[in-house]
Structure 1
């Protein structure tokens, strides 16, 4: 299966694209992303919940420019539902670390801590795939991006700017079964 996503606004050359994905009632198999300019996408995090659901973060760094006539194609195994969101990040270039976890209803989502970052951490990007329930909220320090809702399931994304070495987690509140992932990006600094 695949979905073609139109590029809603021009993407600047050198920026990073982050594709957040939630698949429910899915089969095992490869999840991939490509675009019409040939940028290379890699899976930064892939979290299963034990009930045939997956939440992923797929990224392309230092991209070629995309215009509104371009498309991003996401491929995935058969799934009952899919949620897809694409965000453009500036001034980041490398994934320093990541973490992912899953939890049961009645517990707040938390990706768990990333490994310690020592080189110019710039931004933490978080994703939470939640199986219905009340709207998710992000912990202090995170800026929430729009949450996608499909038949009550939620794909929540958010980011946090960081400047110090350390460990980070994508965390917040929810009341149903969840999958969460965090990716720490290092900054792009020019001499």
Structure 2
């Protein structure tokens, strides 16, 4: 029996009735399982929870993921509990359990919910030896608090409070004690910095893209550099995801769109529920547009462990980033699975996921962007040589202006539209060896990416 099964609470934990206490939950997995149990008992769909909580359904799905390593923010947990019908009187016990697990190292501790995110964490305890004054000559000063008994736990010292409470029976003049205390404070600060250095991973400078410095974009300057698309016309194929590839004789073709969404949501990740099954051995291509975003790493994973890699990445002058990510020879997915996208901060996102058959690798890419007020878009400035039978997949991210219309040889897929922001994608099969480009018309500001699959 797993820990989550031992902690599976049933309805009584959720509503606080029948004497059950959420404080019995000891792990993140157990806490999430408790929320999932309440959802199952109430029989609520993601759409109904979205209506009751006001949260995007992708955010709700992410919050209820059983594999997540940490708990969702308390405001989301509280909104879900209220939607599940948990009485107001029971919420404090849930928050107490949530706080305990967030702060527990075994529960993948998160930030202190009572402290402002910008406030640095408290310094670690000061060792008792560091606070012992140096003895010296001179008259004995006024009596002070007694020294702790031998064997007293130094962990009881907290910052200056601990320093003031630890005295030596032999003390020098006040100036000597002041100097000693100053040294102890410096040592404490050094210990705090060392502790932070061991817990915070090393940061790398943020990458710049298309000539727009990080400073002008107002983005965090410590974002990891993005994974670049392949530069070689024939990159090595990605590692197999454990499934046999489609037969080489299978013609390349679009199959279905198993996932997609668009949200005005200031965040750094979201979860897409899979809405239609994906066959084993097929390929998944994620088209993504991030608005007002930052340079940095973008990662896509699914609940079956398939490997996605960037095969196209373009950012325009307004920090609209359009990308293609692909996974080949995927494991079979069902409607119980989901796709998780992690990205630098953005104010909005548009995303679609398309399933293709008969392809097993990306062999090249092209990309470009342009300003509004013109009439056409094209990736022709990036040369891409294609072979007969290659499957081209393209995506165009736009804002305002007319919707992108692809050239006649392209088959357009349903667009993802959010206010004036559009993510439009299309595909085509190359009839003969030629130089390929994604082309069409629009008056909007645009960023276009295209990849050749084989």
Distance 2:290 2:424 in 1: 13
- 1:47 is aligned to 314
1:136 to 396, 404, 410: 404
Q: Does 1:115 align with 2:115?
A: no
Indicate conservation of the 8 Å contact 2:311/2:326, yes or no.
yes
Q: What is the CA-CA distance between 1:170 and the residue it aligns to? A: 1.3
Distance 1:28 1:116 in 2: 28
Q: Map residues 165-180 of structure 1 onto 2, 5 A cutoff.
A: 165-180=433-448
- Residue 435 of structure 2 aligns to a residue in which SS? coil
Distance 1:46 1:122 in 2: 20
Q: What is the CA-CA distance between 1:114 and the residue it aligns to? A: 4.2
Indicate conservation of the 8 Å contact 1:145/1:157, yes or no.
yes
Higher relative contact order (CA 8 A, sep 6+): 1
1:161 to 429, 432, 437: 429
- 1:147 is aligned to 415
Indicate conservation of the 8 Å contact 2:314/2:448, yes or no.
yes
- 2:373 is aligned to 106
- Residue 313 of structure 2 aligns to a residue in which SS? strand
Q: Does 1:4 align with 2:271?
A: yes
TM-score (norm 2): 0.40
Indicate conservation of the 8 Å contact 2:313/2:322, yes or no.
yes
TM-score (norm 1): 0.92
Moved more, 58-67 or 164-173: 164-173
Moved more, 51-60 or 129-138: 129-138
- 1:182 is aligned to 450
Q: Does 1:24 align with 2:291?
A: yes
More helix as a share of residues:
2
Moved more, 2-11 or 32-41: 2-11
- 1:88 is aligned to 355
Distance 1:26 1:10 in 2: 31
Indicate conservation of the 8 Å contact 2:300/2:342, yes or no.
yes
Q: Map residues 60-79 of structure 1 onto 2, 5 A cutoff.
A: 60-79=327-346
Q: 1:26 to 1:48 in 2, by over 3 A?
A: same
Distance 1:65 1:169 in 2: 32
Indicate conservation of the 8 Å contact 1:22/1:53, yes or no.
yes
Distance 2:363 2:433 in 1: 11
Q: What is the CA-CA distance between 1:72 and the residue it aligns to? A: 0.6
Q: What is the CA-CA distance between 1:163 and the residue it aligns to? A: 3.2
Distance 1:152 1:51 in 2: 14
Distance 1:31 1:132 in 2: 25
* Higher Cα radius of gyration: 2
Q: What is the CA-CA distance between 1:164 and the residue it aligns to? A: 1.8
Indicate conservation of the 8 Å contact 1:121/1:185, yes or no.
no
How many pairs are equivalent? 185
More strand as a share of residues:
1
